Amino acid sequence: MNEVLPKFDSTFSIDCVVFGFDEGELKILLIERNEEPFKDWWALPGNIVGENESLDQSAGRILNELTGLSNIYMEQYYTFGDVNRHPQGRVVSIAYYALLRLGGDKAVKPISTYAKKANWIDVKDLPKLAFDHKKIFETGLEKIKRRIKHQPIAFELLPEKFTLTQLQNVYEVIGDKKLDKRNFRKKMLSFGILKDLEEKQQGVSFRAATLYKFDKRKYAKLFGKEISF
Amino acid sequence: MNEVLPKFDSTFSIDCVVFGFDEGELKILLIERNEEPFKDWWALPGNIVGENESLDQSAGRILNELTGLSNIYMEQYYTFGDVNRHPQGRVVSIAYYALLRLGGDKAVKPISTYAKKANWIDVKDLPKLAFDHKKIFETGLEKIKRRIKHQPIAFELLPEKFTLTQLQNVYEVIGDKKLDKRNFRKKMLSFGILKDLEEKQQGVSFRAATLYKFDKRKYAKLFGKEISF
DNA sequence: AATATAAGGTGTAATATTTACACTAAGTAA
DNA sequence: TTACTTAGTGTAAATATTACACCTTATATT
């Protein structure tokens, strides 16, 4: 930065790819737009960054307005800045993905005041999206596909207590590949980052599975050692 | 984006961490600032994004102005947007790392008109940096440390024709860890992405090593298979 | 021309990891 | 009691990783 700050018509926004996992399906939250441009189109939730907000704060706010939840797991992953990506002017958009637990106790219902309509939609069955949101989504999906191989993000998509089969399911759906049950369990348990809760699933037909939770402390101690799926 | 675009005093810039590798040392390009704020401090090369420039174009331009080179390997890796990161107003900065070949035929000399002074400085011996550039640098270094394990970016730091020892050196310096010569060669060659040029180094004292080049076509064919160091 | 020097280049055995594969156990529902 | 559905488990073969030391080759020196 070698000049005094020049100003021209430009601004920046956040767009969020909010992933949720439910019954073996990976979904994202889409909203139906109420305003031009792209009125009535489906779009990623997003908004302009406030004057006194950091990017992370802004993303957190958007997610909170949309879901009522705070402390959602969230990572910034790429910034989209093509000149003409927004028909009304230069808008650079910083993209975040968020991961959240759909299944389990409480289902997440998008808050209707945020947009005309908001729905969970299976990533395999997405409608056309406004702006360059298709590209933003695809980049985000690629990102979590890579990241799940080396970082413990799968747990963010599951309820706190989960079964090994559920966990395997997350890996299978995101990696788009069936995995061997015995090998999956052996490897996953070998990392030593799961805590056996010595507790069984409730309210299922048929044999109940053992519940586990992700052990953050033990994961932190791996420091440096790579986990790899 | 649900409103008409609001405007307030804000802008965005690009900052670049330009890595170069030479004789076993990993360096970055720093400039000495000529203006307030942080006059006379060392900083990452960067600039405001032009009105009609995409982010990638802007980063390319900055690197071209600085080095005279185009087609430098470059990746956007993170966007920094804390409210007070720039003392003169809200500036969101999109960070890129660039990798370039210092060694070999032609040394890269930073162009002096770009800044009062520009130097290659060993990453192990960096001065204090302006703004939040230390954090930007550290994030970038982390990024390439991770990325070099799974993507063929090491070659970008070497001349087109290189020896296996030089390549091993890149991995050792970036990974901050000595590697076994025989194992390194075995594994690297096993990927089948290096082309043996059947040609020897010139002008070295002592036994000349075989030269290789990175074979992009073969790498592209690996599609999906992961390379892993 | 003989010798010293410095880096290049190579193989193998021990260990660890990954893969492929199929049955029994447990709990629910009819 | 039986049928159904998912949970849970072990082993052998193949592959990948690690640890490790010496000879080769080209140049520089005497």
Does pLDDT of B112 surpass 80? Answer: no
- Nearest Cα neighbor of B153 from B229, B221, B99 is B99
pLDDT computed for residue A224 by the predictor: 72
Range with lowest mean pLDDT among A22-26, A215-219, A220-224, B10-14: A220-224
ipTM value: 0.93
Task: Test A2 with B115 for CB contact under 8 angstroms.
Answer: yes
Cα–Cα distances in angstroms (integers) from residue B67 to residues A53, A115, A152, B111, in the given order: 35, 48, 40, 6
Q: What is the C-alpha separation between A145 and B164, in angstroms, rounded?
A: 32
Whole-number pLDDT of residue A107: 58
Nearest to B79 among A47, A51, A76 (CB): A76
Q: Which residues of A touch B48 (CB under 8 A)?
A: 1, 3, 5-6
Instruction: Sort out which chain B residues have CB atoms less than 8 A from A45's CB and list them.
Output: none
Q: Is the pLDDT of residue A154 over 70?
A: yes
**Contact check, Cβ <8 Å, B5/A76:** no
The answer to whether A227 contacts chain B (CB < 8 Å) is no
| Mean of the per-residue pLDDT values of chain B | 91
Task: Judge: A91–B1 Cβ closer than 8 Å, yes or no.
Answer: yes
pLDDT digits (tens, 9 = 90+) for A115-142: 888 999 999 999 999 999 999 999 999 9
* B94-104: average pLDDT: 88
pLDDT band at A110 (very low <50, low <70, confident <90, very high): confident
| Residue A105 confidence (pLDDT) | 45
What pLDDT score was predicted for residue B116? Answer: 82
Q: Which residue is nearest to nucleotide D10 (CA to C1')?
A: A182
Read off φ and ψ for residue A143, nearest 5 degrees.
Answer: -60, -50
Shortest-distance nucleotide from A202 CA to C1': C27
Number of Cβ within 10 Å of residue A12's Cβ equals 23
pLDDT at B23: 84
If you average pLDDT over residues A52-81, what whole number do you get? 96
**Predicted local confidence at residue B20, as pLDDT:** 96
DSSP string, B81-108: --TTSSTTSEEEEEEEEEEEE-SSSS--
Q: Which residue has the higher pLDDT, B204 or A56?
A: A56
A46, A48, A80 member nearest B6 (Cβ): A48
What is the per-residue pLDDT for A1? 42
How many helices (H) and strands (E) are present in chain A, helices listed first?
A: 5, 9
Residue A5 and residue B81: Cβ atoms within 8 Å? no
Query: What pLDDT is stored for residue A3 in this prediction?
Result: 44
Q: Any CB–CB contact under 8 A between A83 and chain B?
A: yes
Instruction: Copy the structure tokens of residue B208.
Output: 């000349």
Tens digits of residue pLDDT in B180-206: 999 999 999 999 999 999 999 998 889
> Per the CB < 8 Å rule, is B94 touching A92?
yes
- Chain C footprint positions (protein CB, under 7 Å): 5-12, 18-22, 25-29
Q: pLDDT digit string (tens) for B26-71?
A: 999 999 998 889 999 999 999 999 999 999 999 999 999 999 999 9
Q: Which residues of chain A between 151 and 190 are close to nucleic strand C, CB under 7 A?
A: 180-183, 186-187
Mean pLDDT of A93-109: 80
Cβ partners under 8 Å of residue A55, min gap 6: A14, A49, A76, A94, B79, B81, B82, B92
Provide CB contacts within 8 A for A34, sequence distance 6+.
A115, A116, B2
**Contact between chains at B54 and A115 (C-beta distance less than 8 A):** no
Distance in Å from D28's C1' to B127's CA comes to: 40
CA atoms within 13 A on the CB side of B1: 28
